[in-house]
Amino acid sequence: MSFSLLTPLALALGALVAGPILAHMAQQRPSQRMAYGAMMLIRRLVRRLEKRRRLKDRWLLALRILAVLAMVLAAARPELSWPETSPSFGGSGAVVLVMDDSMSMGMVSGGRTLMSRARERAIALVRSLPDGAQVGLVRIGGEARRVTAALTTDHAAILADLESMEAGYGRTDLRGGLLQARALLEGTPGEVVVFTDEAGPNVVSGAAGELRRLIELGASVIPEVVLPSQVANVAVVSAEYGDGPEGGSVDVRVHNFGEADIELPATVGLPDGSEITAFLELAPDASVDEAFTVPQTVPGGVAWVRVGDEALPGDNARYFHLPRVGASRVMVIDGDPGPTPTRSEVYFLERALAPWGGRRGGVLPEVRSPPGLAELDPEVHRVVFLANVADLSAHAATLTDFVRGGGGLVISLGDNVTADRYNGALRDLLPAKLDKPRDLVDLGARDGVPLELPDLEMDLFAPFAESGRAGFTRIAARRVFGLVPYEETGWDGDGDGVRTLLRYEGGTPALVERRVGRGRVLLWTSTVDLGWCNAPLQAAFMPFVQRLVGVLGGEAGGGAEQLSVTVGEPTQVRLPVVGLEPQVTGPDGVAVFAELIRQEELEVRFVPRLPGAYTVGVEGEPPLARVAVNTPLEESDVRTGEALTEVQAEIDPSRFVRRAELGRGALALALFAVLAQALLAARGRAS
């Protein structure tokens, strides 16, 4: 509280107070007095009267001095000021409600969420407005958006929107909300009422620019802050798979944003459905690191960590990518290791199976030399690639049992292969007998003979739409292994069957399939490197290999792209083949609206609204991309940051000061003093 004078020079008039004092002192008595007889009795009477008169004169003098001082004070226009906590509401006729429906508003306090309390206040405010008041509604959870396109007098519609409003999982976009409120006001003054918990760092300070623009517009920003009785929240702030004993470990960090000690369980959930639980003790505003040991064999995918916190359930789980742990379900036998990676027979095959490698790639193929076939295990492996392997006679029986039991076998050829050895060792597996290599064009030629369009009715090519199908025609071979003429047999029954899946222009077989028992064998008549064909350099190669592994029963998800994003963040996934028709599936198993952008590559764009694991792919096929979506970390920090009133006071202090002018009161006091001294003087004369 402070006191100030608008015209301090008027205080100089205070010298007039000397007037009444001098007037009272000017009353003189005769200088010569002569005492005589009877006057002695009168003198005693006069002395008693003078004592009484002096008392009355002093009050009269005081009133006259008070009148002069009050007049001087009124001329100086005194002002009393004191700080105000918030701008007052009412009177503008235009109101914009800004509702914070971010994740932190889902905090439970006293059995109710902060969102329910904010909603109740907002509903009461709307009901208190006069019928003609214009109202707008803005939500600021995630990306700020207008609920009403313009200000409206339809209060019933506003109330219906408020009653259905719940806290989501997004961050607080206060800046965007104030921007939308300013747009609703359309350049005119009004009142913006913000219902929020003011939680999170930089939420309010980040909106200072929009606050300033609203203040310059003449609008009032009125905070309606809802706070919990006690700040409490525990959240998983990080989770990552790393090396360690057994199959590795998941390193987890949990933070307590609350004000009290807490003990709670933390559970890691793996893609195979198994769970690992530990109990954590956390001090206020402290973190705890915990390592969870992963079993030796775990399928790849999106895993999660969850804590048992009841204060703010929205951020109890955190999702992360877990690679395939342990033995791969795909074994690749490299029959011709090269001096450099690109000269190696299986380099391009590895890149197609796990293009992002390591942790990002999920499942990595198990690459071995030919003797490694001795470790083929039908319980572990589902698909075997034989890449230009010279001699398979020692492992023919193992491969035959593997395929008959339901395994998938893919054979690619090359310079190491001889027809006699293969026809003898693999006679029970080959779709057709090998003849000898033949040149379709000169091996030194830049281009070869392209493939014909595949048949989309076949299960192997079903996911490829027209443009994706056309990508196969860019695959061209210069040399292939000839096949002894073979007969294509029926494919619908359960017994053996042979069919040609791909041909080069002119009819030369490129890919032939045979069913053996419960398994399948595919013979690629060229190489999987650049020795005889250009397949590894074409866009269709990777999705084709992924699809091939999936059809044969292997885990092709190792090639899925892995992304980690935040709720509400626009997400783009680029796919290598334009012809695919993928869909995005959310954590609840429901398809998510996605936009397909067809350019040189297919790009899928979507905005996740829920935390969890999302997949991008063709229905019934291994995913082309996996997306781990988490809540924003800043929303987990439920402690109150800067206050809206504090930032507004820094921008325009005058809005947060209540003032009272005392000039009228001083003038009234002066008039009262004049009247009182007049009455007192008249009474004195009468007595």
The CATH number for 277's domain is: 2.60.40.10
On whether both 486 and 345 belong to a single domain, the answer is yes
* 63 sits in which H/E element: helix 39-76
- The answer on 446 and 320 residing in a single domain is no
According to the model, what pLDDT value does residue 2 have? Answer: 53
Structure confidence at residue 397 (pLDDT): 94
CATH code of 550's domain: 3.40.50.880
Same domain for 210 and 119, yes or no, is yes
**What is the percentage of the chain residues whose pLDDT exceeds 70?**
78
Q: Whole-angstrom Cα distance, residue 309 to residue 235?
A: 8
Task: Find out whether 654 and 58 touch, Cβ atoms under 8 Å.
Answer: no
Mean pLDDT over the full length of the chain: 83
Q: Is residue 566 part of a domain?
A: yes
Q: Are residues 482 and 590 in the same domain?
A: no
Domain boundary among 517, 540, 558: 558
Does this model's pTM top 0.75? My answer is no
State whether 413 and 278 are in the same domain: no
Is 586 within the bounds of a domain?
A: yes
Q: Give residue 323's pLDDT.
A: 78
Does 163 score more than 70 pLDDT?
yes
Beta-strand ranges (E) seen in 423-504 are 434-439, 449-450, 476-477, 479-483, 497-503
Residue 385 contacts residue 349 (beta carbons within 8 Å): yes
In a domain, 656, yes or no: no
Do residues 375 and 469 share a domain?
yes
Task: Identify whether residues 429 and 572 lie together within a single domain.
Answer: no
Alpha-carbon gap, residue 343 to 520, rounded angstroms: 29
Tell me: do 257 and 194 sit in the same domain.
no
Domain boundary among 324, 359, 393: 324
Cβ atoms of 644 and 203 closer than 8 Å: no
More confident residue, 68 or 240: 240
Model pLDDT for residues 325-350, shown as the tens digit of each residue = 665 678 999 988 877 666 677 888 88
Over residues 522-533, the mean pLDDT reads 93
Of 558, 584, 610, the domain-final residue? 558
Identify whether residues 442 and 574 lie together within a single domain: no
More confident residue, 583 or 656: 583
Residue with token string 């008041």: 133
167 within 8 A of 99, measured Cβ to Cβ: no
pLDDT at 476 over 50: yes
What's the average model confidence in pLDDT over 654-673?
70
Q: How far apart are CA 392 and CA 484, in angstroms?
A: 20
Residue 103 is part of which domain span? 94-230+638-651
Number of domains in the chain: 5
Residue 449 and residue 350 in one domain: yes
Buried b (16+ CB within 10 A) or exposed e, 330-366: bbbbbbbeeeeeeebbbbbbbbbbbbeeebebbbbbb
* Residues 189 and 164 both lie in one domain: yes
Q: Find the mean pLDDT for residues 36-51.
A: 57
User: Phi and psi of 103, rounded to 5°?
Assistant: -60, -40
Q: Is 663 helix (H, G, I), strand (E, B) or coil?
A: helix
Domain check: are 388 and 350 in the same one? yes
